[in-house]
Structure 1
């Protein structure tokens, strides 16, 4: 049974990590968005530190939480496993397919007028073949944030094997997987290795009924570990961004910084954030309820807004800075209000899209 404290902690992280994902996707110093490209300077460094470094922990931490929640209540029989799969079909597969379809329709409509068609650099939807439409719908969604759900669906199909490996091999499974992820994380199709690794980490703690930091109950030791993890997290990010950009060592340092970051955030909640939440609770409580909807629909709204801003204000550093620091909160609140309106006017559709969250 998940305690009230842990439940509140997971709800808080579900919102915080969504915010971090939005900030991560706001990075615009590469040619990926708006045709603007910047490879040096303070703006480039800060965006890489914040989005490419600090916010890089968001998706891995989501996978950890997903693995933990899948196995936390235990799997006593094949019936339990089938029930979990049925539930995930409702909470993952249906939202994934519907949101992916929405993105295709949204892009198609935007590509009809000449005035907005110029913002699209790839093949137009109207020129897609049936097989390309199906591939886009099911495997390579235009709303690219959906890769998280796609990978989670794939990994959940592998949960009987993951359960067996963790139950029988324990750390003999986890340690080699950790080394493989650190060295080879970006060399697997669909980013499946990072998904498997972090889902397995969460599953390991749930299956073995361990606390998040099982070997530390002493408050002083926890504070010491927090200081070490924050220092290591920030130091590795700075070294990677400033000194080792675009090298193989950059990948390894990035992966190590993610591990430090997850530990730091988890401990920071226990030692600081939880006691401070009451001050900001009235602000974030309504948003927390719509975290999943914000995740589903912040893209393609964010990308299209960035492209529009570059078209109107010019492809320069000033526009990049304005977009990077102003659009994340604006898009979060816009998506939040769209979610509220959908829930009020079309509750059946909202429940389908969010899996009754």
Structure 2
């Protein structure tokens, strides 16, 4: 394939693995589990904690920056941003971002609301919960959800406090929320990038890297969005050859990325004041590493883009948190893992079952309800024959 095909195919190849990475990170967590009124703790399983730290070092926070980068690169690809182009892009992003954002946050609201339906109440441990069906509580689900919709059961306030978030109720959708904010700012970004170019990207990178020392919360998330989106946009607007630019650092990225990941794990145990800085470095190198690895796999014909898996990535990303933790709790209750290996097996099995269920659902929707799937994902998917 030529360079243009390799460039686009490399980005497509990344979509599904990055979605799986997000799923793995969200399942493998050291958070306590509230099971039938009792708390299940993992801090007594040192091997599980050690593996979890390696997952954090290699995978946590790696996917979303790459998604922002791809979004910025694709947004400006082959266009000159005029008023007409911006309006057209805005209308398209309404379909691909805003409508799925509303739908999948509503799905998360319904997942909470279903426990208050009389038919299902007997299946939940706490029967005295009350649903705060007020406008402020509902609106919080679509911006920053802090548990306003349903108060914590008596005795579990500390657990519920961990749910306080700067994300919407369907937490991974913070990516869509902040991407929509960046898209609204693209006329200003375009104007600045045309004049300042990489200087703007460097400035945003310094601010993003510097924010690691402060608790900026949502502002830090927005810095992540603007930095990586602008990085991709800068390459696209400047018509830079991403293959050549990133390819210069192929060997460096292949060595530095795993090295930084291991250093992160070491710092967690011995230099806790350094792990956030190391993670920021690893996220930046991880972008170059991921793209170089994808191009190498395609160029060497080790693998190729699977249209079905690539098209399922968005569906997996927006839906996985609706079921993965429920599956995890079910496995822990039924299998009662006591050893470290058994606990690791339960978490790995949760990832596999969640992925299998979502891929099966996506396949069935693609085959029997493609119009409905288009609404859910905001995308016109390729036909099933491309699987």
User: After TM superposition, is the score higher than 0.5?
Assistant: yes
Do structure 1's residue 200 and structure 2's residue 230 form an aligned pair? Answer: yes
Superposed displacement of residue 128, structure 1: 3.9
The CA RMSD over aligned residues, in Å, is 2.7
Do structure 1's residue 160 and structure 2's residue 180 form an aligned pair? Answer: no
* Residue of structure 2 equivalent to 1:132: 137
Superposed displacement of residue 304, structure 1: 1.1
Query: In the alignment, which of 268, 280, 292 is matched to residue 267 of structure 1?
Result: 292
Alignment of 1:4-43 (within 5 A): 4-31=5-32, 35-38=40-43, 41-43=46-48
* Residue of structure 2 equivalent to 1:305: 327
Please give the alpha-carbon distance, in whole angstroms, between the structure 1 residues aligned to 2:297 and 2:69: 21
Kept in 1, the 8 Å contact 2:260–2:282? The answer is: yes
So what's the TM-score if we normalise by structure 2? 0.80
Kept in 1, the 8 Å contact 2:69–2:228? The answer is: yes
Please give the alpha-carbon distance, in whole angstroms, between the structure 2 residues aligned to 1:237 and 1:172: 28
Superposed displacement of residue 285, structure 1: 4.2
Query: In the alignment, which of 338, 343, 347 is matched to residue 370 of structure 2?
Result: 347
- The alpha-carbon distance between structure 1 residues 162 and 77, as it changes in their structure 2 partners (threshold 3 A), is same
Kept in 2, the 8 Å contact 1:29–1:39? The answer is: no
Query: In the alignment, which of 81, 94, 110 is matched to residue 99 of structure 2?
Result: 94
Alignment of 1:203-242 (within 5 A): 203-212=233-242, 214-215=244-245, 222=248, 225-242=249-266
SS of 2:242's equivalent in the other structure is coil
* Residue of structure 2 equivalent to 1:286: 308
Please give the alpha-carbon distance, in whole angstroms, between the structure 1 residues aligned to 2:97 and 2:86: 16
Please give the alpha-carbon distance, in whole angstroms, between the structure 1 residues aligned to 2:371 and 2:246: 46
* Residue of structure 1 equivalent to 2:109: 104
Superposed displacement of residue 111, structure 1: 5.2
Deviates more, 1:30-39 or 1:45-54: 30-39
So what's the TM-score if we normalise by structure 1? 0.87
Kept in 1, the 8 Å contact 2:69–2:232? The answer is: yes
Provide Cα deviations, 1:179-207, integer angstroms capped at 9, x if missing partner: 11112156242611111111111111111
Superposed displacement of residue 46, structure 1: 1.8
Alignment of 1:39-188 (within 5 A): 41-110=46-115, 112=117, 113-114=120-121, 116-118=123-125, 126-140=131-145, 141-185=168-212, 187-188=216-217
Provide Cα deviations, 1:99-131, integer angstroms capped at 9, x if missing partner: 1111111221145434543399xx967234221
Please give the alpha-carbon distance, in whole angstroms, between the structure 1 residues aligned to 2:130 and 2:375: 25
Task: Please list every run of 5 or more consecutive structure 2 residues that lacks an aligned counterpart in the other structure.
Answer: 146-167, 381-387
Deviates more, 1:320-329 or 1:298-307: 320-329
Task: Please list every run of 5 or more consecutive structure 1 residues that lacks an aligned counterpart in the other structure.
Answer: none
Deviates more, 1:252-261 or 1:106-115: 106-115
Kept in 2, the 8 Å contact 1:167–1:207? The answer is: yes
Aligned length: 345
Kept in 2, the 8 Å contact 1:75–1:81? The answer is: no
* Residue of structure 1 equivalent to 2:149: none
Greater per-residue helix proportion: 1
- The alpha-carbon distance between structure 1 residues 33 and 325, as it changes in their structure 2 partners (threshold 3 A), is farther
Please give the alpha-carbon distance, in whole angstroms, between the structure 2 residues aligned to 1:94 and 1:188: 25
Q: Displaced runs of 4+ in structure 1, greater than 6 A?
A: none
* Residue of structure 1 equivalent to 2:157: none
Superposed displacement of residue 18, structure 1: 0.8
Please give the alpha-carbon distance, in whole angstroms, between the structure 2 residues aligned to 1:351 and 1:54: 29
Please give the alpha-carbon distance, in whole angstroms, between the structure 2 residues aligned to 1:355 and 1:216: 31
Please give the alpha-carbon distance, in whole angstroms, between the structure 2 residues aligned to 1:250 and 1:44: 16
